[in-house]
């Protein structure tokens, strides 16, 4: 039986889309049920609202599995590239 880590390493693009899809839909559907009262209370919505940036989390997860710590650091450094002048 192949491990999850092995599958993510072998098929990183498919894994990215699957993780992003799952996290994003969890972030959109669970808060809606919480706010409408069908699930416990509105106070529990905050953890689920943090799941809305599912593609970002999916990118971090897949990069951590395939590239390790250096890959994650390289990905996060790309967020600081500023190619526009201040004017």
Per DSSP, the residues of 17-81 read HHHHHHHHHHHHHHHHHHHTTSSS-GGGHHHHHTTS-HHHHHHHHHHHHHHHHHHHHHHHHGGG-
Q: What is the pLDDT of residues 16-68, one digit of tens each?
A: 999 999 888 876 776 555 555 555 555 566 666 667 788 899 999 999 999 99
- pTM of the full structure: 0.72
DSSP state of 70: H
Query: What percent of the chain clears pLDDT 70, i.e. is strictly above it?
Result: 70
Query: Domain spans of the chain?
Result: 4-80
Query: For position 73, what pLDDT does the model report?
Result: 95
Query: For position 61, what pLDDT does the model report?
Result: 94
């Amino acid at each position: 039986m192949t491990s999850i880590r092995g599958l993510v390493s072998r098929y990183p693009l498919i894994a990215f889309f699957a993780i992003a899809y799952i996290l994003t839909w969890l972030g959109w559907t669970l808060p809606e049920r919480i706010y409408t009262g069908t699930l416990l209370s509105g106070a529990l919505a905050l953890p689920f609202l943090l799941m809305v940036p599912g593609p970002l989390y999916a990118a971090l997860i897949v990069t951590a599995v395939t590239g390790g710590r250096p890959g994650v650091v390289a990905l996060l450094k790309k967020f600081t590239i500023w190619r526009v002048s201040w004017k």
